[in-house]
Structure 1
Amino acid sequence: MPRAEHGISREDISDNALKVLYRLNSAGFEAYLVGGCVRDLMLGLLPKDFDVVTNATPEQIKGLFRNCRLIGRRFRLAHIVFGREIIEVATFRGHHDPAAQDASTRGKASEDGQLLRDNVFGTIAEDAERRDFTFNAMYYSVADFSVTDFANGRKAIAQKQVELIGDPEVRYREDPVRMLRAIRFAVKLNMKIAEPTAAPLKPLAHLLSNIPPARLFEETLKLFLSGQGKDTFVALHDYGLLEPLFPQLAPLLNDPRSKEMQFALTVLANTDERVNSNMRVTPAFLYAALLWYPLEEHAQKLQAEAGLSQHDAFNIAAGDILHRQTQRIMIPKRFSTVIRDIWMLQHRLPRRFGRRAFQLLSHPKFRAAYDFLQVRGETEGGDLLELTDWWTQFQHGEPGLQKKMLSTLRQKEGAGPKPKRRRKKPAKAKGDENA
């Protein structure tokens, strides 16, 4: 497609991406923008990042850019660093030969067909065949401003369909994360997943358990913290992809009207609103919400079967739930600590007598715990809703109102006024007995 047919302008392309393209071309290499950035430009959207592909090897790329670092084991990539912006540059990928499992191929697959190492270089045509979805196999050249569409990506965009290149089952087995990407693109771009692409999703969902937990953590951030988390969650549930990600939560979501489902959807809707308003969000709050009801269920079971106190059962259950979840999705310690704080404060917030209420207000994670309580109150109603209303008034009240609220609460709970302390009489000094 020449410049007149695709409408992509250099004004919409990152200056740093253009620098990379021009330098690679000047050094005698082919270089193209590829993937999501070309797709988004074709859709009239502003890309978040720009990826480049070239026939230069990673070592040759590094030789051209002093601000380059090579990353990756599964497939070697070059990151060209311009301050906060990183332009990712990949070498054209070639076809992996499963019959040749030696070092010369630099490719290796598992028994399930998953590619474990993929450093097989090839031509631009081979690279296009190795792309995942048809609309991601479009290449923009700054040399002549043309777009080369290898897999009818423009047609997929026109038909609003997410469609895999090649045999969907083979492609999912090569990299099961493609199943998550299919869902994410369908929701993000308001498209439908083509029937052949959608058919293997449920039968092959279990393959996600082969993906390293650290990689799945990064993928879930894209799924749930990009502004369409609620719709993405529903789509993952519909296609059977939640169970391999959250095996402790999935069994509680069979009824779409259940409190567990409503709680998750409300938290995700609130998160979407914050993301789309450019407000700060943290994965800790989301994970605390998705694991809350599995935690409650496990704690109650421990309390009943092991005869533990509520406090001990809750602490043990929190450790168990987080440990099991990290077997599937890694949760960095900086987030798991916050998750525990939010959970523990749910048990402390109902205890408000005396100085406890003021101590809770000064807790670093009070606001997150209060927001969490608020969603629980909206979901379950009853005492939780009353407790949420009380904390809403108390945290914003004047000292006089706060004192009155605590006094009213004490009377309501039947605690009565505080008993006056009786002063102890001073002990008599020795020798004073007969005085």
Structure 2
Amino acid sequence: MKNIKYQKKLRWLFIIVVAIFILSLLHFSKIIISEIKKRETSTIERYAKFIELVTNNEYNLVTLFADDILIENHTIPVIITDKEKNIIEHKNILNEDSEGSKEKIMEEFSSMQNQYEPIKINIYDSKGDIIDYQFIYYKNSQILDIIIVAPYFISALIILILLSIYLILYYSNKSEKDQLWTGLAKETAHQLGTPLSSLIAWNEYIKSKSKIYKKQASSEVEKDLKRLKIITDRFSGIGSKPKLKKRNLKNIISNNIDYLKKRISSEIKTNLNLDEVNYEINEQLFGWVIENLYKNSIDAVGKNGKINIKLFEKNNKIIVEFTDSGIGIKKTEFKKIFNPGYTTKTRGWGLGLALAYRIISHYHKGIIYVKESIKNIKTTIRIELMKQE
């Protein structure tokens, strides 16, 4: 009874912590977004002043704004109109290599009218009286739009991952539930750590700089969002029946290994011997298996060693083998290593191989097992998938 009460308290504590995290993320993101909006509005106001000076031929003051504005604004979409809202000029609307599109410009113009109040440009005669005026319409830059969406995307991602964790725990037995909950919670933190840290770093960078190279920032933020999308697909695939599509296994294995090779010691030598094989799989989940098996081999060899990865067909089967020169696995542990929560590492949580086993056996109807293990010489983990008709 005490244990049940403790679990309920722990569950509520976890929900509260997650809620505080999401609210804090949204709060601080709102502050950052507000600051960027102010800077972009200030840029357009200075841009409007520049246009007004040029229009009224005040050339002595033009040089004060030329470098500051013309060079800086390469991302904020701008449209200049006369007082009747007829478009005179536009900037940052169309790509450099694209042809002019009236429909695109009008669509952007309509969006700008709904987003911000236009800035008025007064045109004076020689006596200093206003004889005409123009308007500058503008909208958020691409980088600002990405930053506005990012916190909501991350919040939804966290909720989705937690829901996936709940579904896994719900359909498991009690002991497995406890192990998977601990493991998946840590795996979630591990998976989210790199892209979230990067996004936070970019936010801090944007806050600290008065001028930023927005195209580079936009590109890097997009990479992190794509990585978060991959993580979303993986966790959602665990919580529901994944769709299987025919894919090239050689490419999937190579891409996942190449991503991790850049982040490990150069003393660890990885050799790929992969045949051309097409098979119906879920690409995200199968890629997760490859990552987990490769990380397992990296942990086994330590700071230096050899890892050989093979992909081939034999006896009407598709076979993937990971062989490393690491510390080996005791024969009594050949099956245990695939149990949730079982690990021989001091800092591990025993989930990687358990997830690999579930993905291969439950979703791809294959088998995964330790083929052989000789201490400090070689250990081989094999995946076998039945060849499809």
Structure 1 length as normaliser, TM-score?
0.23
Instruction: Determine which structure has greater relative contact order: mean sequence separation of CA pairs < 8 Å that are 6+ residues apart, divided by chain length.
Output: 2
Q: Which has the higher strand share?
A: 2
Structure 2 length as normaliser, TM-score?
0.25
